[in-house]
Amino acid sequence: MLTEIFIKNEEWASNINRMHPGFLSGLIKGQHPDYLVIGCSDSRVPLNEIMGLRPGEMFVHRNIANLVLHSDMNCQSIIEYAVASLKVKHIIVCGHYECGGIKAAMDFPGHCLIDNWLASIRDLYQCHKAEIEAFSHEKEKENLLCEFNVGAQVFNVCQTKIVQSAWKSGQKLTVHGLIYDLESGLLKDLNLCISNLDEICHMHKLF
């Protein structure tokens, strides 16, 4: 059955209890994470682990290709809860190279349900086709679309009512765009930090 998972879980809990006594039991008091991270569901991108954050430090939403769609009530509810209730200080959209969702969106449709989910990335590809196709290698084209996609989702986060209301009320909140390189294990900052309404205008010209 799931023997391996239970064995590893017991090891994990006892290691934490030995090294940081009281840490786990302290978590029942509540959560006060500074970060909401929106990432891809890809099993090779364990967000907590790559960012070195412990339980309680990161609120997370993951879906295929780290999309923030205005029609996705799951993602929108998470942003609302994170901003309005948890008062996170940072929202990080974290994409990654080698993203299957990005590759599928550049491919011919034929993946059934997921084609609908990836439709906005196809649109993004069409918008930036000239810049993307200027590269000769497939990998470079995919990587660039991975980066454009992070930018587009940062923009979508900034366009939500909840984030804009937070800024209007003076709440400190910064939206960031990062990309994770599976090969090196390193995060790259795409320098798309947005901390107020004025900065969105500049973003609008990019995406």
Residues that bind Co ion (CB under 5 A): 40, 42, 99, 101
DSSP structure string for 32-65: --SEEEEEE--TT--HHHHHTPPTTSEEEEEETT
Determine whether 115 is an active site residue.
no
- Measured from the CB of residue 21, what is the shortest distance to Co ion in angstroms? 37
Name the catalytic one among 42, 90, 128, 158: 42
Report the residue number, 69 or 162, with the smaller CB distance to Co ion. Answer: 69
Q: Which is nearer to Co ion, 75 or 99 (CB)?
A: 99
Cβ distance to Co ion smaller for residue 33 or 101: 101
Q: Vertex 192, ends 188 and 197: CA angle to 5°?
A: 155
Least distance between Co ion and beta carbon 142 (Å): 11
99 has catalytic annotation: yes
CB atoms within 10 A of CB 132: 19
Spell out the residues 6+ positions from residue 90 whose beta carbon is closer than 8 angstroms to its own: 34, 35, 36, 173, 174, 175, 176
Q: How far is the CB of 172 from Co ion (least distance, A)?
A: 30
Q: Name the catalytic one among 44, 54, 70, 202.
A: 44
- Of 59, 108, 51, 104, the closest CA to residue 84 belongs to 59
Q: Which of 94, 99, 146, 158 is catalytic?
A: 99
CA distances from 50 to 25, 39, 94 (A): 24, 12, 11
Minimal distance, residue 102 CB to Co ion, in Å: 7
Q: What is the distance, to the nearest Å, from the Cα of residue 193 to the centroid of all Cα atoms in its chain?
A: 14
70 given a catalytic annotation: no
Based on the residue annotation, tell me whether 42 is a catalytic residue of this protein. Answer: yes
Q: Of the residues 61, 75, 90, 96, which is catalytic?
A: 96
Q: Catalytic positions, please?
A: 40, 42, 44, 96, 99
